[in-house]
Amino acid sequence: MSKQTVKPSSVAARQRRSTSMARCLLCGVLVLAACLVGAARELHAKDAVIKSIVVANSATDLLLYCAVANSFTPEMVEGIRNGIPVTFTFFVTLEQKRALLPDRQVASLAFDHTLSYDSLKEMYRLTFPGENGKSVSTASFAEAKRLMEEVNGFRVAPLRSLVPDGEYTLAVKARLAKKTLPLNFHYIIPFWHLWDFETDWRTAQFRY
């Protein structure tokens, strides 16, 4: 019986081809995953919007009322119920429009709404550090979601800083689900970075 001799060079060549094919396959999987993540991010970013801007005033301050629509994904809801806190950051600017001079910035502000879940007490806790540090607890996720999405009477600027009969533009946007997890959690929660996106600016013009 004759023995077939395999040249070392042939073995090395086959190993190189196998390694090359594995690398190509891995690259293909990574590219596909990146495309899917990008598509999901773009779709969700288009859905989340600021709606229902209302500008009002108290005896002393200009007040903002607004809400975010389509802000929670199923993944976010599941993450919250597993103890992952979520923060919405709202950004507000107020400018006076002037015909012969550059527009005057009256205010530029940011404030947070944070939601967490206590699985032992089965209660949702919301904190509003930019609104006198108030906090609310509720057993209802629907109520917690509403409180997270709504801005009710946020003080934008004192009325004394406004010019009577002046034209103003108030703009609002929200950054949803700001990352606050330790780095190792990003490997445990799949597609965690899909939670990071911002709404477009929404504006309202008014005359004081």
Among the listed residues 183, 147, 133, 129, the one whose alpha carbon sits nearest the alpha carbon of residue 72:
147
Residue 84 belongs to some domain of the structure = yes
Tell whether 34 and 72 lie within a shared domain: no
Please indicate, yes or no, if residue 1 is contained in any of the structural domains: no
Residue-level pLDDT at 198: 82
Per-residue pLDDT tens for 106-149?
999 999 999 999 999 999 999 998 777 789 999 999 999 999 99
Model confidence pTM above 0.75:
no
Same domain, 191 and 123: yes
Q: Is residue 2 part of a domain?
A: no
59 and 34 within one domain: no
HSE, side-chain direction, 13 A CA sphere, residue 174: 27
Q: Which amino acid is residue 66, in one-letter code? A: C
**Closest by alpha carbon to 202, among 96, 65, 86, 72?**
65
Structural contact between residues 110 and 128, judged by C-beta atoms closer than 8 angstroms: no
Same domain? 94 vs 173: yes
Cα dist. 6→16, 18, 27 in Å? 16, 17, 31
Sort 162 into a burial class: Cβ within 10 Å, 0-12 / 13-18 / 19+: middle
| Average pLDDT rounded to a whole number, residues 84-106 | 92
Are 163 and 109 in a shared domain? Answer: yes
pLDDT at 195: 59
| Residues 93 and 177 reside in one and the same domain | yes
User: Which among 19-33, 35-49, 111-125 has the top mean pLDDT?
Assistant: 111-125
Domain that holds residue 148: 49-207
Q: Are residues 88 and 188 in the same domain?
A: yes
Q: Are residues 145 and 185 in the same domain?
A: yes
- 114 lies in the same domain as 165: yes
Q: Is residue 70 part of a domain?
A: yes
Could you report the per-residue pLDDT of 173-205, keeping only the tens digit for each? 998 755 555 555 555 455 455 556 689 999 999
| Run of H or E residues at 38 | helix 8-47
Over 60: is that where the pLDDT of 69 sits? Answer: yes
Alpha carbons 61 and 98: distance in angstroms, whole number = 22
Taking residues 86-104, what's their average pLDDT?
93
Whether residue 108 is contained in a domain is answered as yes
Residue 119 lies in a domain: yes
> What is the tally of structural domains in the chain?
2
> Is residue 135 included in any domain, yes or no?
yes
**Is residue 84's pLDDT more than 90?**
no
Instruction: Please name which of 114, 146, 147 lies closest in space to residue 130, comparing C-alpha atoms.
Output: 114
Are both 16 and 81 inside the same structural domain? no
Question: Across-strand partners of 90?
Answer: 111, 174
Asked if residue 174 and residue 121 are part of one domain, the reply reads yes
pLDDT band at 53 (very low <50, low <70, confident <90, very high): very high
Q: What's the CA gap between 42 and 147, in Å, rounded?
A: 25
Note whether residue 122 is domain-resident: yes
197 shares a domain with 164: yes
Q: How many CB atoms lie within 10 A of CB 205?
A: 11
**Residue 45, helix vs strand vs coil:** helix
Output b/e per residue, 74-85; b: 16+ Cβ within 10 A.
ebbeebbeeebb
